[in-house]
Amino acid sequence: MNHNFLQTPIDYLKGVGPNRADLLKRELGIHTYQDLLNLYPNRYLDRTQYYKIGQLQQTNAEVQIIGKITHIKTVEQKRGKRLVATYVDDTGKMELVWFRGQKWIRENLKINTTYVVFGKVNWFNGAFSMPHPEMELLSAHEQSLRSAMQPVYPSTEKLTNSGITNRVINTLMQQLFVETKNNFAESLSQPIIDSLKLLPKPSALFNIHFPQNTDLLARAQYRLKFEELFFIQLQLLRKNMLHKSKIKGYPFREVGTYFNTFFREHLPFQLTNAQKRVVKEIRADLGSNAQMNRLLQGDVGSGKTIVAFMSMLIALDNGFQACLMAPTEILSVQHYNDLKEYCNLLNISVLLLTGSSTTLERKNIHEQLENGELNLLIGTHALLEDKVKFKNLGLAIIDEQHRFGVAQRSKLWHKNKFPPHVLVMTATPIPRTLAMSVYGDLDVSVIDELPPGRKSITTVHRYDTNRLKVFRFMKDEIAKGRQIYVVYPLIQESEALDYKDLMDGYESISRDFPAPKYQISIVHGKMKPADKDFEMDRFIRGETQIMVATTVIEVGVNVPNASVMVVESAERFGLSQLHQLRGRVGRGAEQSYCILMTSHKLSSDAKTRLQTMTRTSDGFEISEVDLKLRGPGDIMGTQQSGVLNLRIADIVKDTEILKLARSYALQTLKADPTLSAPENLVIKNTFAQLVKYKNIWNYIS
């Protein structure tokens, strides 16, 4: 069947009409026949079994029974009345009960005629009853297109209240299959179908809505999940390949003096194997003719900055400039201070550009950038301003990507004749499955080992009742000359309460840690930026021993002397937040500690999060648990929501299918980049349709 027929507006389907069409559009986003066809059931009820009244158990389960109504009566109750029918089979009797719609039901019930009833059974006053059963005459039940497994579709309260029940959606679906004669076009190539023994498309669609048995249902689900993930991966891989073939980069053929001198004489420590591997991957990208577009993932402290710096040196060796952009001023200043020492050793000119740079500094930077005297520029989004023009930018490095949109990345490109190579760094471990989907157009490198000498952080969970012990421990650490963070949650919805908690906490710490012996910094959202910076600065310089803050402790602040992180109300933080916060300590040579404080009331998810934190410090393992707990939508944060609104596949449970789909998509494109081989034309056509009707773009933000 051609795809165009499936684009028919849903209003034209028999049984829909203008009112229902409006509701379906508003509530479920169903505008066309295609949208209805893609409304897959959430679950299925097993209608293969018929129970005898005599066998019923007090389980509150949904059952199906064949029997007859022998008697109907109306019973008065406190409020209104109820309609009660006596229903019998050859093993016993029970009651069917209605609290609404009684007039209509009473007029339509036939006495002594065989009905199939389906519903939840209650045990009340020594007898079984079934409220508001689904009923069907046995004769109609035997003829209907419904299968043994009954689909339950996604719905909303509004739909149910407006009479669009599951039964109605089921009927519309039957009508859709009658009108289309189940004549659906195949969308995958025969070699893929044969290789994986997949159900053909028409059979998969029929069995997802009207499964003939559990085996066919499982095969239909597998086929449709595979297909959905296959086209998303095809999309991302094509984007990546097109990018490589179309967007030429500068080939950096030289690995020269800067790189070699630094590597041989100034490297502060031996590179780990993971770092060496990543440097190799980056060198290969920079040496090819295509523009590099790489995501570098590595836990806090895994040594991403050194890898980034070595990549910059390759750009300088080839006569180009490089820049490093960070999301906050504090972080960019820190990068600048870290790299300035190395640059001095190698006679490289490096400057810092942020919102607080003076007009004179800016003028100086702009001049040196354009005449090529300046090799490296480090800064915040101030680098994106139109006035900032490079003589020849060869490499742009972006730290903590999730704070910069794609639009901001492309702004950097337009500063040049050719786009510079791009390296995106993040300390937020993105589960591999999600990275494959969300950043599928970037090549991914992972630094998955910590440099030697980094001690793992001891993480413990303590209840509020042990607070005095925790305070004692903090005093012992301060006596050794260490510093401590105490972090409070701050959530928009409960801002006023959270703020009060923070202030109460600050006061109780001030009482237990009195001046002048102890100095305390406080940082929260209501302070002016200048005051925040002042307090942060005192802590960084070691003038205060305790930093009390809300979650806004800037990402990546480096205070090697801070060895304890106390997280208050830890049950209110997400896993990735807890992992990020823990990464603020353990940056020096000393043993560091993370103490998670909670009340005794914990949900099971909160327990799982706390157990995970105390059990492991592997960012990837933590992110996988996080993904299972939260689902993919939340992981990427709000600005990326709608990243993956999948119709049938589940990025957490279907990891294996995802990997398979990606490898088949890759194989297909490698063998036939334009998808013009005869067997791939179905894929090409389906892909074109998906792009045309925007169905694939819903998935990718």
DSSP 307-326: HHHHHHHHHHHTT-EEEEE-
Residue type, 692: K
What's the CATH superfamily of 458-616? P-loop containing nucleotide triphosphate hydrolases (3.40.50.300)
513 Cβ contact list (under 8 Å, min separation 6): 471, 474, 475, 478, 520, 545, 546
Question: What architecture is the 48-145 domain classified under in CATH?
Answer: Beta Barrel (2.40)
Kindly provide the b/e burial profile for residues 654-686, where b requires at least 16 CB atoms within 10 angstroms of the residue's own CB.
bbebbebbbebbeebbeeeeebeeeebebbbbb
Q: Answer for the pair 582, 614: CB distance below 8 angstroms, yes or no.
A: no
CA distance 463 to 251: 57
Residue 110 CB neighbours (<10 A): 10
700 confidence band (pLDDT: 50, 70, 90): very low
Q: Does residue 640 surpass a pLDDT of 70?
A: no
Given a cut of 70, is residue 412 above it in pLDDT? Answer: no
Q: Which of these, 58, 182, 67, lies nearest to 120 by C-alpha position? A: 58
What is the distance, to the nearest Å, from the Cα of residue 614 to the centroid of all Cα atoms in its chain? Answer: 23
Distances (CA, A) of 282 to 89, 367, 426, 432, 451: 75, 30, 16, 19, 19
**Domain spans of the chain?**
3-45+156-183, 48-145, 257-287+302-426, 458-616
Contacts by 213-221, CB closer than 8 A, 24 or more apart: 213/148, 213/149, 214/149, 217/44, 217/149, 221/648
Question: Using an 8 Å Cβ cutoff, are 652 and 624 in contact?
Answer: no
Q: What is the mean pLDDT of residues 296-302?
A: 80
pTM: 0.61
According to DSSP, residue 466 is labeled G
Q: Going by DSSP bridges, is the β-strand pair 114-120/134-137 parallel, antiparallel, or unpaired?
A: antiparallel
Residues 139-157: pLDDT tens digits?
888 776 555 678 889 888 8
Confidence of residue 643 (pLDDT cuts 50, 70, 90): very low
| Per-residue confidence band for 416, with pLDDT thresholds at 50, 70 and 90 | low
Provide CATH code, domain 257-287+302-426.
3.40.50.300
Q: Please indicate whether the domains covering 48-145 and 257-287+302-426 agree at the CATH topology level.
A: no
Calpha distance 317→632 (Å, rounded): 41
**pLDDT of 475 higher than 90:** yes
Can you give the pLDDT at residue 101? Answer: 80
pLDDT band at 299 (very low <50, low <70, confident <90, very high): confident
What pLDDT is attached to residue 2? 59
Which residues contact residue 328 at a Cβ distance below 8 angstroms, ignoring those fewer than 6 apart? Answer: 380, 554, 555
- Name the helix (H) or strand (E) containing 17: helix 17-28
Encode pLDDT of 208-247 as tens digits. 999 888 789 899 999 999 999 999 889 888 888 877 777 7
Q: Which of 183, 176, 178, 189 is nearest to 203 (CA)?
A: 183
Buried b (16+ CB within 10 A) or exposed e, 358-387: eeeeeeebbebbeeeebbbbbbbbbbbeee
Q: Tell whether the model's pLDDT for residue 325 goes beyond 60.
A: yes
In this model, does residue 528 exceed pLDDT 90? no
Distance CA 639, CA 406 (A): 12
- Report in angstroms the alpha-carbon separations of 181 from 13, 14, 177, 206, 286: 14, 14, 5, 10, 54
Distance CA 222, CA 665 (A): 16
Question: Is 226:661 a contact under the CB 8 Å cutoff?
Answer: yes
User: Which band of pLDDT confidence, cut at 50, 70 and 90, is reported for residue 248?
Assistant: confident
Q: What is the pLDDT of residues 261-294, one digit of tens each?
A: 999 999 888 899 999 999 999 999 999 888 888 9
The rounded distance, in Å, linking the Cα atoms of 297 and 456 is 19
Element (H, E) at 472: helix 467-479
List beta partners, residue 122: 129
Distance between CA 491 and CA 16 in Å, rounded? 44
- What DSSP element (H or E) covers 137? strand 134-137
Q: 3-class SS at 102? A: helix
Peptide bond into 9 cis (omega under 30): no
pLDDT over threshold 50, residue 633: no
Q: How confident is the model at residue 645 (pLDDT cuts 50, 70, 90)?
A: low
Residue with tokens 């006495």: 111
Q: How far is CA 323 from CA 308, 329, 378, 396, 458, in A?
A: 10, 15, 6, 5, 36
* Mean residue pLDDT across the chain: 86
pLDDT in tens, 354-404: 988 899 999 999 999 999 999 999 998 888 888 888 999 999 999 875 555
Helix and strand element counts for the chain (H, E): 26, 22
Tokens 């750009």 appear where? 315
Please give the DSSP secondary-structure letter assigned to residue 420: P
pLDDT, residue 699, reads 41
Beta strands in 281-420 (DSSP E): 293-298, 321-325, 350-353, 376-379, 393-399
What is the pLDDT at residue 556? 53
pLDDT in the model for residue 47: 75
| Per-residue confidence band for 446, with pLDDT thresholds at 50, 70 and 90 | confident
Residue 337, CB half-sphere, CA atoms under 13 Å: how many? 8
Residue 485 in this model has a pLDDT that exceeds 50: yes
